[in-house]
Amino acid sequence: MRQLKKQWNKLILRDNCHPFKAGVVLWVQISVWIIYSTALRNMVYMLPDKDVAAAMLNLELSVGGTLWFPNLTMVDSSLILPVTFGLVNLIIIELQERSRVKKTTKFQKYVTNFFRVLSVVMVPIAAGVPSCLCLYWVTSSVTGLAHNLMMLSPRVRRLSGIPATPSERAQPYTHLRRELQEALTFKKNVRQQ
């Protein structure tokens, strides 16, 4: 076990790939998401002090919306933003699931299903928060989806300085289209039977 640990540490140093590096981005993103969400909530409810500046900011939010959500301090009664938030998160999860090269492990299946359920559970939560908060969540999720799609491209990965890996597909978008077609065909066949 000591020799294995020693070899593991040598590989980490040689390839500069400490496992903590993969998680640090996630923890930073979660922290920023929580901080922004809390800040937006505080603006809507004029926290911590209900002074003139807070009232002015709240007034700007109440007239700063657009389309079906003209008042950013109110919940989206049409449910378009909360449902969009849930759908975009589900698309991100499915994109990650369908772009895997290796066979999914049992643990990965549990984690994927947990995040699927979490995406659905977040819809009613998003339906109960002010529109500005839900709009931020939707924008953040759409940006994450765009990043995920861009980082599938081998060309973008090379431009970003990411070396080729065995888990990278040469034609990722063609693969995703095939996966989607197979899933839709499978569901259609199941319904017909």
* CA distance linking residue 124 with residue 93, whole number of Å: 19
* CA distance linking residue 61 with residue 74, whole number of Å: 9
Q: Can you read off the two tokens belonging to residue 191? A: 């319904």
Most confident of 44-48, 84-88, 175-179: 84-88
pLDDT of 187 reads 64
**pLDDT of 86 strictly over 90:** yes
Band the pLDDT of 55: cuts 50, 70, 90: confident
pLDDT of 85 reads 94
* CA distance linking residue 145 with residue 92, whole number of Å: 6
pLDDT of 191 reads 66
* CA distance linking residue 163 with residue 45, whole number of Å: 47
Average pLDDT over residues 71-91: 90
Query: Which of 150-153's residues contact partners 24+ apart within 8 Å by CB, and which partners?
Result: 152/95, 152/99, 152/176
Other residues' Cβ atoms within 10 Å of the Cβ of residue 21 = 10
Single out the residue of 97, 86, 189, 100 nearest to residue 142, CA to CA: 86
**pLDDT of 98 strictly over 70:** yes
Q: Can you read off the two tokens belonging to residue 146? A: 């765009």
The angle subtended at Cα 19 by Cα 17 and Cα 24, nearest 5°, is 105
Specify which residues 69 forms β-bridges with: 66
H helices of the chain, where?
2-15, 19-44, 52-63, 80-98, 106-127, 131-152, 154-159, 172-192
Sequence letter at residue 18: H
Around 144, how many Cα atoms within 13 Å sit in the side-chain half-sphere? 21
Structure pTM? 0.75
Largest CA distance in the chain: 66
The fraction of the chain above a pLDDT of 70, given in percent, is 95
Band the pLDDT of 119: cuts 50, 70, 90: very high
Determine contact, residues 81/69, Cβ cutoff 8 Å: yes
Specify which residues 75 forms β-bridges with: 130
**165 φ, ψ to 5°?**
-130, 160
